[in-house]
Structures are given as C-alpha cells and as structure tokens.
Chain A
Amino acid sequence: MCGIVGLHLRNPELYPRLGKLLTSMLCEMEERGADSAGVAVYGDPTWSPPGTVTVSVLESGLTAGELSEALTAQLGTEVSVHQADATQLASAVTDVEELKTAVAEIAPEALICGFGQDLAVLKGVGHPRDLAEAYGLRSAEGWQGVGHTRMATESAVTPGGCHPYAVGDGQCMVHNGSFSNHATIRRELRRKGVEFDSENDTEVGARFIADRMIEGSGLEQAVDALAENFDGFYTLLVSDRDSFAVVRDAIACKPAIIAETEDWVAMASEYRALAELPGVEDAILYEPEPNRIYAWSRKQAELKEVAIA
C-alpha cells in the first residue's frame, strides 16, 4: 500500500513549522505502511546548514565524531556531521561530488541516501511515529518536505529499501505502487554503468529518471519515458530544491489528493493526512488526473500542468 506526503511552503512565515506539519502528515499515513518511513527536508539549518552541501549517510560504521574527523582530514576543510537517528548528515562548504567521493572512500559500505544543497534525507526501519520522534522531525524547519510510509512489496525491509530515493543532486522520489519489470530495467541500466544501492523497484524508477535527465530529458520527458517503459502502478512525488511534481499512472488505482492555498501546496495519499494543515478548510482540493504531471516551483508561483503524450 504505502503512504506518501509532500508539503511545499509558499509563505516563509510557515518555514519554522515545516517539521511539525510534516510530522502530522506522515504519522496520519502510518496505517498505509508501518514497516519503515523516510523523509526529505529542504532547508533545515541544522540538518543542512546554509551555504554548505550535505550528504546523507546510513550505515557508515563510524560515529558522527569519527566520520567528521575523517572527512575533515580527507578534504582539508571542516566537515560537520549531525546524527539524526540512524542517518548521519555530513555538511561542508565544498563540491557535493567531492564530499560524496570522500564519504565513499572513508566508509565504502555506507549507503549515501541523499545529497545536495539544503537537502537532508532521513531513513529508517520501524514504525513511522517512532521514527518521526527519533528523527526529531517535529522541530525541523525549511520550505519543502516529502515523506513516505512503507508497506514493502517488492524488496526487503531495510534502510536501503526505504523511500525517499534521492539519486540525483538535490532530487528525491517517493512512490506508492509497484513496478513489476524493475529487474529487467535494472539490468539494462547496470549495463549502461548505473550503480544501485538496493533491490528496490522504486530505486530503479528514480535512477531511470535521473539517467534520462543526465541524457538531456526534462522532467516531463523523463516521466513520460518511465510511463512507456515500466509495468506497474504508481503515484509518484518527485522533488528537487525548488520544486515538486506529482504524477499518477494511466490506471490511477493508487490514490492521491492535492490541496493548495496561498500559503502552501500539499500532496498526500489521502485527505486525512492534510486535515491538520492550517487553512485546509479553505484550500482548493482535487484529485490529480492520470497521466498528467502537476508541478510547482518556488521560482514560478503558478501550477504547471502537462499531459503525458
């Protein structure tokens, strides 16, 4: 089943409340998936200090202090590491690829679960409510957040199988549904040199989109290609630093609801996840149509809507 939530704040006065709002949304979706939960938060000053790039790391085998020391020595610049439950958030004023490479060299077994400016990705196995507490999600700040509660169907319950999948710079994807031909497409992508962290179907979708975008496709074209190549069901929420986009497959059996006010745009699997949002009683509420990309950006206030060919 799985539950997905996303909140994109338009009114900066709400930024300090992002974590609190996202926590209520995520916890309300606990019944849709209670084996793991992950979040991505854009703009929290503790998790991803302004002016730095942040790499989110799982299972490094080192303490935060050890990782910070080793990374600082490796890069010759101060690298801070913040521990948020199982996730370590390494931040430095440097190039994000350099920081990623340094993490991979120091902790080769570690899982890099997100990277980019202003982005922290936290994942864990367990009950969403416990995880939100352990992450300290309630006190997070920022302008945008996405979350996922997982009911595993296609791969094991591990931190690596937990969403969001953040495989591009500042990008994230959460997915409600399942891809049935993911093994075939994973093989094709591996042949092209794409590396994978898990056996998860959604990771294949995320890496497929990232691969298409590296080859020059826009997000719409990449999602169009995903619709063409993947068998299965999906409601997807794809985000980057400035924007987020919602798309449902042509069959649209996986639910989604969008709410918009002047202060925020929110998306969730079900309305009840939105019920606590301030001003929801006056929000414009609608169900996104199948095969249509709904995208919002901080740079352009208006909703962009594109039908998939």
Chain B
Amino acid sequence: MSTAIDTLIFDLSTTTLREANQALHAEDLTGEVLITNPRGAHAVAAGVDAEVQITVEGHVGYYAAGMNKHAAITITGNAGVGVAENMMSGRVHVQGNASQSAGATAHGGMLVIDGDAAARCGISMKGVDIIVGGSIGHMSAFMAQSGRLVVRGDAGEALGDSIYEARLFVRGEVSSLGADCIPKPMSQEHHSELRELLDAAGYSDDDTRDYTRYGSARRLYHFRVDNAASY
C-alpha cells in the first residue's frame, strides 16, 4: 500500500462507517484508499463504483465489498457472511477466511479467498469467477448459473446442487455432489481456462491436471413433458 499523498485513509475507530462509505461513493473517486480498524463492521466498502484500490486492514463483518463495480478491494483479515455478494466487476481479495455465501449472486469480477470459505460459497453465482485457496463448505454453487468456481482444497456436501451453466473445478475431495451436478472431462479448453484463473489469482504453481471439473448434467433444468406431473 502506497503512502503517497493521494491515499485516502479512513480509521473506523474514529470515523463512522457511513462517512467512509459515502466518501467511497463519490463520483470522482480515484487512487488508493486504506480502511483501518474495521473490527467486524458490516457493509465495509459496499457499493463502490470506481476504479480504485481499497485495502481493508483487519476482519470485516457481513456484506463487505458487496455490489462492487470496478474497484480492487483487498481485505487483509477474515470476511463475514456474503463478502462480494452481487459483485458486478472488479476484484475482491480476502486474505483470510470467508464465512458463508461468499460471492453470492455475483455477476462478474473476480473473488479470491486465500483461506477457506464456509457454506454456500458462490450460491446462485451469475458470472463471477471465484478462486478459493482452501476448502469450501456445504451447498456451494447451489443453483449457480454462470461463471467459474475454483477450489484448491475440498468441497463440502451437495456441491453444485441444481446447477445451471457455471463451471466448477475442485482439486481435493468432494463430500457429495448435489442434484444434477456431475464430474466432467477436462479438455484442453478447460485446462487453459483453469490455468488463466489460477494465474490471475496468484496460484501459478498449481498443476491443472490435479483438478476435476464439475458441471450440470442438464437433466434438471430442461422441461420434460414426461415429468410434468412432478413439477
């Protein structure tokens, strides 16, 4: 983090969160921002719509960096429920662990979590790329529509339940797969795609051959008249 004169600093032990977030929503925001002492506060740096670099030093509460657009936000600690939920673009980097529903419903951008993510990681993801350095909890990528989820560790129960067209890559064990989620072969295209994601997240040493791809069997979301009585 540069200490140049244009670095905007908000110490949340002396500045209110509302003041900090309002300043982050200024139309002409540029440069670098440092937020200190978040102490688990909710909605830290939520709703930013500017090409800025924001560093949050410490642990954050719910919905940090939610709805992010354009900004590159680094959280040096752990994140609570719903980090980067509904992100549109930009990049969010959690250097610790993330609680449940990380990257929920996010449309775009990249979410990197160096540690573990808890249950429901990437639930209903709609285009975001999520790379998790550790493991993820149960019901992750539930109804995931598009985007990519890369997990360098293990995945909990019911991975990808009712998944649409999101692509999942898991290096470790998967406790169980959810309805309509199946392992799929890795073609050259998928190796290249995964390589790009790992490189972008800073995991260049990983061998893509150690990963398994999972996705939709497409048996669930196509309407079949034979099954009409079951709907």
Contact = CB atoms under 8 A, between A and B. Distances in A.
A270 B119 CA distance: 16
Interface of B: 39-41, 59, 61-62, 78, 80-81, 96-97, 99-100, 118-119, 137-138
B100 A275 contact: no
Interface of A: 252-253, 255, 257, 270-275, 285-287, 289-290
B78 A272 contact: no
A270 B80 contact: yes
A275 B99 CA distance: 16
Contacts of B137: 252, 289-290
A286 B78 CA distance: 9
A271 B119 contact: no
B119 A255 contact: no
Contact of A255 (B41, B78, B96, B99): B99
B61 A270 contact: yes
B80 A271 contact: yes
A252 B40 contact: no
B118 A287 contact: yes
A290 B80 CA distance: 16
Nearest to B96: A285
Contacts of B78: 271, 285
Contact of B40 (A253, A272, A287): A272
B39 A290 contact: no
28 contacts: A252-B100, A252-B137, A252-B138, A253-B100, A253-B119, A255-B80, A255-B81, A255-B99, A257-B99, A270-B40, A270-B62, A271-B40, A271-B59, A271-B61, A271-B80, A272-B40, A272-B41, A273-B40, A275-B40, A285-B59, A285-B78, A285-B96, A286-B97, A287-B97, A287-B99, A287-B100, A287-B118, A290-B138
A274 B40 contact: yes
A270 B78 CA distance: 12
Nearest to B81: A255
